[in-house]
Amino acid sequence: MNPKENPIINIRNLNYSYSNKAILKNINISLEKNKFYSIIGPNGSGKTTLLKNILRVVPIKKNSIYIEGDDIVNLSTKDLSKKIASVPQNTMIDFDFTVMDIVLMGRAPYLSRLKNETEEDLIVAKESMVMTSTWHLKDKLVNELSGGERQRVIIARALAQQSKIILLDEPISNLDIQHQVDILDTIKFLKKDITVIAVLHDLNLAAQYSDELILLKEGKIVSMGEPEKVLNKQTIKNVYHVETYILKNPITGKPHIIPISDHFVKSKTNLTAL
């Protein structure tokens, strides 16, 4: 069966407004299993709001979002959590939990009320930490970790949910380039078992790591598809209002975007005229 005929997420005519302002407008997308999708677009284009709709943290109308054929409106909170895990923008924790405590929180959908974690839960938590290179941190307090370490711990918590989909909202913001690459390498590895949907601002990193991009502007989908299709000079200019020079990355073959400022273009034009 063609996976597009049986998408893991199917969004139909999704519209969302807040305070009488339309944030998302007629969103229609089908997402396949075991792919890495990046949602890109300018600030205020509706990227995070789209994730919130999929996570059902905002009011959702029936017949708008389906996961594995189920209308998310009809799913219990626990059942939805078994299907989708998330990594939010803000990974700060208010209390001094250990890393193991944080990761075990991902097992909540499988626990009955007042029930303690089982041996199986501990095994899943350890496997999640090994996958994210955080097992050696298990006894540390989460607020003693670096930003990159804490981000990996929150990803481990999401993995411990054993969901088929993981949503990440700007998972590499405020991290240095080493930690950005480490986090994206980890996420890229996960997609062999999980559908990944990440909001990213860096177009070059989105291009290198994603199977497909979803480009939003003012709440509408401008383009969706492989990076080579979405990231072209005219589309970037229309959406971001910036001139670019696009190269092919010699290692990955994906597009690499170099922004060109108006000042540089004008200066070069003036020099040429001289």
Q: Which two tokens stand for residue 132?
A: 């994210």
**Is the four-CA dihedral 111, 55, 47, 184 of positive or negative sign?**
positive
3-class DSSP state for residue 66? strand
pLDDT in tens, the chain (274 residues): 344 567 999 999 999 999 889 999 999 999 999 999 999 999 999 999 999 999 999 999 999 999 999 999 999 999 999 999 999 988 778 888 999 999 999 999 998 876 788 999 999 999 999 999 999 999 999 999 998 899 999 999 999 999 999 999 999 888 889 889 988 998 888 888 899 999 999 999 999 999 999 999 999 999 999 999 999 999 999 999 999 999 999 999 999 999 997 766 666 655 444 3
**Whether pTM exceeds 0.85:** yes
Phi and psi at residue 8, to the nearest 5°: -75, -35
Residues shown for the chain = 274
